[in-house]
Chains A and B, each alone.
Chain A
Amino acid sequence: MKFYFQNKPVEAQSGDTIAAALYRDGQRIFSRSFKYHRPRGLLCVSGKCPNCLMNVDGIPNVRTCITPVRDHMKVKAQNAYPSLETDWLSITQRFDWLMPVGWYYKTFTHPAMWHAAEPAIRRVAGLGEVLSSEPREYEHFWMHADTAVIGGGRAGMQAAVKAAAQGGQVVLVDDQTTLGGQLRYRKRAGEMPGGLVQQLQALPNVRILHDSYCFGLYEDNLLGVLQSNPHPGTAERLIHLRTQHTTVATGAYETPLLFLNNDLPGVMLSTGVLRLLHLYGVPAGQRAVIVGVSGATEEVSMALRDAGIEVVTTVSAEQVVRATGSGCVQGIQTQAGSFSCDLIVVCGPRVPDAGLAAQAGAKLTWSRERAAFLPTALPSHVSVVGDAAGETVDNIAPPLPTSKRAFVCLCSDVSSQDLCDGIAEGFDHIETLKRYTTATMGPCQGRMCQLSAIGVCAHETGRSTAETGVTTSRPPNPGVTLGALAGPSHHPIRRTPMHYAHEKMGAVWMDMGDWKRPRYYKTDTVSEERECVLTEYRAVREGVGIIDVSTLGKLDLRGPDCGRLLDKVYTHRFSDLRPGRVRYALMCDEGGIILDDGTISRLSDDRYFVTTTSGNLDFVYQWLNWYLAGAGWAVHIANVTAGYGAMNVAGPGSREVLNKLTDCDLTSSAFPYMACRQAEVAGIPAIMLRIGFVGETGWEIHCPAESSEALWQAVLEAGRESNIRPFGVEAQRLLRLEKRHLIVGVDTDALTNPYEAEMGWAVKLDKPDFVGKALLSRAANDLSRERLIGFVLQEPGLPEDGAAVVVDGQLAGRVTSSRHSPAQRSAVGLAWVKAPQAQEGATIDVRVDGKLVQARVTMQPFYDPEGGRLRQ
């Protein structure tokens, strides 16, 4: 296998991670530090420290020590220029005295200073940049289990076998490619109990997730799990894993010791050295000095000797003065003398990784015996096993720095001196110290530094470690890519049943919520929007047009108490609506504010057909059901929006066209305005409503979605001789505006009541009770605020929606809708104005293209004010 590092090819062996292959290839510096651009090399080799973050195939901050090599991947260093080996910005460490702890807060005390310095600081400090990359696919996955075990080491596997024996579904989450945890690389830590892996793999009720890490344990045992490369073509899968019980078996991780130059490449944790050696067959050096106290030094020493690495000496942590070397380790200075070496193996204190348990509510309590914080007071749905519970952890007291300039926090270059300064400045609580110095807040989320920081804080403040305590563990930890959280790049689209018929006829689409609607139609001869809209307009006014209105919300209400419910929720009265009749329906909230409008048709004694605006269906459905909840009324509400398609056939020629398709008597005496009938149209069962949003004779026809396209085509066919034209939303908006019909949410806002919108006729205050009555009763007599008026512009021009209305030089309102009206031969519109201007014939000024243009106020529709055409 081959991949590219800084554009140069690097060979890799099967099973290699990126960092292992690079280390074998001789790379020693893997990153430059956040603030001082100090060289950093491999430390933990387990994805727990920030030292190996690189850009992989355009993705920044990838932990290369746990990321397997894929053929031809492109790996680039971050935060270093011109190269990792020579980073000009490492000059900043010479000026560290200029940048003490809290430097930002103390220096940039004025916003202007910060704005001036920010671009430069962003270039100098920081982690990776997001480079443009190939689009990556992510997916979300939902999983349920009785027990989740986090960690595939010995304790985790044993817990999984035990849980599986009880018969439930078990999910085992392991962040490695192979089960085994530390037993995979600590050859002397003990043998894997015979056949444990095979036993686990054979259990039908155990599901093992490899290459997956758990980044958070949330309320009610929801685990966030991120799985890498779940299948070809998908980069990451976010698993929402819900369980009854969670067993945390995340083990313990090793942490660094504090001496001068403890961050030099070549200073490596013993577990990191063993991982490199036993997982990838890469010796970390030739001459090693081992630093540490515990029995671990012996184990490491033997392992290194077995691998042919010379162990120069073993020293205890307190004896170390400094690591020496420029760029990487060349020796170590100790109280027992100086030694030349190319590897310093640190056997640091081990920290039980119980963050998940803490997120679930467990306390982390200091155990003097094990010198570690152990999870206690576990909630009943969480247990902790193995080293995460401190099983084999036997540290002595947390290490104290042998140098003030040892790095505690590798993520943001915080030294033990910085911590002491922070404490001296009064930030002596571990939580405030964390926020002030940013120690434990970097990419490693405190894994490498928290114990050391607590040790320093306890020592400086004279408190005990137990009193000092730990900072709060919060998810996500480790971090999660935004892409994984966002999930698949998929936007839902709703298409009406006639969608593809529109497409064939040249529809130009617009989005309305999730719906696609034709804005207008291009034809062979006309393609410019204004021309198309005018042609469609004329068809409706002079001949016949048809529009797809399937996006309307449609509710089918059945039951003896429908009338009661509708009387309660809508402002009009519906219990007295005769079967076969339609009424305009206006819905207000308790404050009398308009929420929605539509039509309500009574199909039979106990069946009503309700339409809502396209965008408000969900809300209206919930609102109606809320008033039903616990009321004891016999009403069943079915949402038939997707089940029915709908179209409006309108224009003086519409009757002639529909007569060819239905036996239903369409004459005005048999089927008057605001009537409804259930009839067959073109052999398709339909509900016909004679209503007129666009102001002409017309029928809104609802029929089953599966037949809607057939009906649409049948109407077009029947209308061919009459030159029927489909019309889009833009023409409909113009047609309705000429009729002064308002659109809820366009011409109304969160303060609009029906009286101010000239819709008082739709409110029946004589009903005993309905939603909004209390405040509408008051509003009915108070029109002193604003009114919705119509205006006709007196000069050429077209105000934009939202344009200002000016009276006597003062702002007096705003335009909500405006179009050029063919009927008025000038621009017309709706506007909110102050009450004194709301009079027929009053004059207002409207801002058009930056100039004030005079307009005449009218309270009448702009077209057919008597409504005679609707009733023809």
Chain B
Amino acid sequence: MSFLVPCPNCGRRSVYEFVFGGELKQVPALDASQAEWQDYRFNRTNAAGVQTEWWFHRSGCRQWLQAVRNTITNEVLEAFLPGEKH
């Protein structure tokens, strides 16, 4: 694994500067069923293809960002700060 993540603050940086935060998921509502919460906590889509993920730039700007990555090629198509996707 040696791909670059285009951090919106710092530019293209080695993936080793980042902490992986998992795929982007909808947090269940407070009154959601136990099954929904367990699905949220433990299950992964494990997509073979493009998915949006959380990454934390630990050795850089120390911000969380979201990156759209192809899990097959490890190509990061874009990355943006949460809520700033155009």
Chain A residues close to B by CB (< 8 Å) = 218-220, 222, 242, 589-591, 618, 621-622, 625-626, 629-630, 632, 769, 773-775, 778
User: Given A220-B2, A626-B54, A773-B30, are A591 and B81 neighbors across the interface (CB < 8 Å)?
Assistant: no
Apart from A220-B3, A626-B64, what 4 extra A-B contacts exist at CB < 8 Å?
A621-B62, A622-B64, A629-B82, A630-B81
User: Given A622-B58, A625-B63, A629-B82, are A222 and B37 neighbors across the interface (CB < 8 Å)?
Assistant: no
Residues of B within 8 A of A773 (CB): 30
Residues of A within 8 A of B2 (CB): 218-220, 222
Residues of B within 8 A of A774 (CB): 28, 30-32, 37
The answer to whether B74 and A591 touch across the interface, beta carbons within 8 angstroms, is: no
Closest residue on chain A to residue B74 by CB atoms = A219
Which residues of B26-63 have CB atoms within 8 Å of chain A's CB atoms?
27-28, 30-32, 34, 37, 40-41, 54, 56, 58, 62-63
From the candidates B34, B58, B81, name the one contacting A629 in the complex (CB within 8 A).
B81
From the candidates A242, A621, A630, name the one contacting B82 in the complex (CB within 8 A).
A630
The answer to whether B63 and A629 touch across the interface, beta carbons within 8 angstroms, is: yes
Which residues of B1-39 have CB atoms within 8 Å of chain A's CB atoms?
1-4, 14, 19, 21, 27-28, 30-32, 34, 37
Closest residue on chain B to residue A625 by CB atoms = B64
Residues of A within 8 A of B3 (CB): 219-220
Residues of B within 8 A of A778 (CB): 34
- State the CA gap A775–B1 with chains docked (Å): 36
Q: Which 3 A-B pairs have the closest CB atoms?
A: A630-B82, A630-B83, A218-B2
Residues of B within 8 A of A622 (CB): 19, 21, 56, 58, 64
User: Given A626-B21, A626-B54, A626-B56, are A775 and B37 neighbors across the interface (CB < 8 Å)?
Assistant: yes
The answer to whether A590 and B64 touch across the interface, beta carbons within 8 angstroms, is: no
The answer to whether B32 and A629 touch across the interface, beta carbons within 8 angstroms, is: no
Residues of B within 8 A of A769 (CB): 30
Nearest Cβ on chain B to A378's Cβ, whole angstroms: 16
From the candidates A220, A591, A629, name the one contacting B41 in the complex (CB within 8 A).
A591
Residues of B within 8 A of A219 (CB): 1-3, 74
Closest residue on chain B to residue A770 by CB atoms = B30
- State the CA gap A64–B18 with chains docked (Å): 41
Residues of B within 8 A of A621 (CB): 62
- State the CA gap A629–B8 with chains docked (Å): 14
- State the CA gap A222–B34 with chains docked (Å): 45
Residues of A within 8 A of B63 (CB): 625, 629
Nearest Cβ on chain B to A16's Cβ, whole angstroms: 37
The answer to whether B81 and A625 touch across the interface, beta carbons within 8 angstroms, is: no
A-B pairs with beta carbons under 8 Å apart, 12 shown: A219-B1, A219-B74, A220-B2, A222-B2, A591-B37, A625-B64, A626-B54, A629-B63, A629-B64, A630-B83, A773-B30, A775-B37
The answer to whether B56 and A590 touch across the interface, beta carbons within 8 angstroms, is: no
Residues of A within 8 A of B41 (CB): 589-591
Nearest Cβ on chain B to A384's Cβ, whole angstroms: 20
> Binding site of B, secondary structure by majority: helix, strand, loop or mixed?
loop
User: Given A591-B41, A630-B81, A774-B28, are A625 and B62 neighbors across the interface (CB < 8 Å)?
Assistant: yes
The answer to whether B83 and A632 touch across the interface, beta carbons within 8 angstroms, is: yes
- State the CA gap A622–B20 with chains docked (Å): 11
Residues of A within 8 A of B58 (CB): 618, 622
Residues of A within 8 A of B4 (CB): 220
Closest residue on chain B to residue A222 by CB atoms = B2
Nearest Cβ on chain B to A772's Cβ, whole angstroms: 10
Residues of B within 8 A of A590 (CB): 27, 37, 40-41
- State the CA gap A778–B30 with chains docked (Å): 12
Nearest Cβ on chain B to A785's Cβ, whole angstroms: 15
The answer to whether B56 and A625 touch across the interface, beta carbons within 8 angstroms, is: yes
- State the CA gap A778–B38 with chains docked (Å): 13
Nearest Cβ on chain A to B59's Cβ, whole angstroms: 11
- State the CA gap A8–B78 with chains docked (Å): 62
Nearest Cβ on chain B to A596's Cβ, whole angstroms: 17
Residues of A within 8 A of B31 (CB): 774
- State the CA gap A778–B54 with chains docked (Å): 29
Nearest Cβ on chain B to A61's Cβ, whole angstroms: 26
- State the CA gap A335–B1 with chains docked (Å): 54
- State the CA gap A630–B3 with chains docked (Å): 25
Closest residue on chain B to residue A590 by CB atoms = B41
Determine which residue in B27, B58, B64 has the highest number of CB atoms from chain A within 10 A of its CB, and name it.
B64
Nearest Cβ on chain A to B40's Cβ, whole angstroms: 7
Nearest Cβ on chain A to B19's Cβ, whole angstroms: 7
Closest residue on chain A to residue B31 by CB atoms = A774
Nearest Cβ on chain A to B20's Cβ, whole angstroms: 11
- State the CA gap A618–B19 with chains docked (Å): 11
- State the CA gap A775–B41 with chains docked (Å): 11
Closest residue on chain B to residue A361 by CB atoms = B73
Residues of A within 8 A of B81 (CB): 629-630
- State the CA gap A632–B74 with chains docked (Å): 30
Nearest Cβ on chain B to A363's Cβ, whole angstroms: 16
Closest residue on chain A to residue B54 by CB atoms = A626
- State the CA gap A778–B37 with chains docked (Å): 12
- State the CA gap A773–B28 with chains docked (Å): 12
Residues of B within 8 A of A222 (CB): 2, 14
Closest residue on chain B to residue A632 by CB atoms = B83
- State the CA gap A622–B54 with chains docked (Å): 11
Residues of A within 8 A of B54 (CB): 626
Closest residue on chain B to residue A217 by CB atoms = B2
Residues of B within 8 A of A632 (CB): 83
- State the CA gap A775–B83 with chains docked (Å): 27
- State the CA gap A219–B70 with chains docked (Å): 13
Closest residue on chain B to residue A618 by CB atoms = B58
Closest residue on chain B to residue A775 by CB atoms = B37
Residues of A within 8 A of B14 (CB): 222, 242
Residues of A within 8 A of B27 (CB): 590
Closest residue on chain A to residue B73 by CB atoms = A219
Residues of A within 8 A of B62 (CB): 621, 625
- State the CA gap A671–B1 with chains docked (Å): 55
Determine which residue in B2, B3, B31, B82 has the highest number of CB atoms from chain A within 10 A of its CB, and name it.
B2
Closest residue on chain A to residue B21 by CB atoms = A626
- State the CA gap A629–B28 with chains docked (Å): 18
Closest residue on chain A to residue B30 by CB atoms = A774
Residues of A within 8 A of B1 (CB): 219
Determine which residue in A621, A625, A630, A773 has the highest number of CB atoms from chain B within 10 A of its CB, and name it.
A630
Residues of B within 8 A of A618 (CB): 58
Residues of B within 8 A of A220 (CB): 2-4, 74
Residues of A within 8 A of B74 (CB): 219-220
- State the CA gap A621–B62 with chains docked (Å): 9
Determine which residue in B30, B54, B84 has the highest number of CB atoms from chain A within 10 A of its CB, and name it.
B30
Closest residue on chain A to residue B1 by CB atoms = A219
Residues of A within 8 A of B32 (CB): 774
- State the CA gap A219–B28 with chains docked (Å): 36
Closest residue on chain A to residue B56 by CB atoms = A622
Residues of A within 8 A of B56 (CB): 622, 625-626
- State the CA gap A222–B2 with chains docked (Å): 7
Residues of B within 8 A of A218 (CB): 2
Residues of B within 8 A of A629 (CB): 63-64, 81-82
Nearest Cβ on chain A to B61's Cβ, whole angstroms: 11
- State the CA gap A218–B15 with chains docked (Å): 13
Closest residue on chain B to residue A224 by CB atoms = B2
Residues of B within 8 A of A630 (CB): 81-84
- State the CA gap A591–B56 with chains docked (Å): 22
- State the CA gap A707–B56 with chains docked (Å): 33
- State the CA gap A218–B3 with chains docked (Å): 8
Closest residue on chain B to residue A772 by CB atoms = B37
Closest residue on chain B to residue A769 by CB atoms = B30
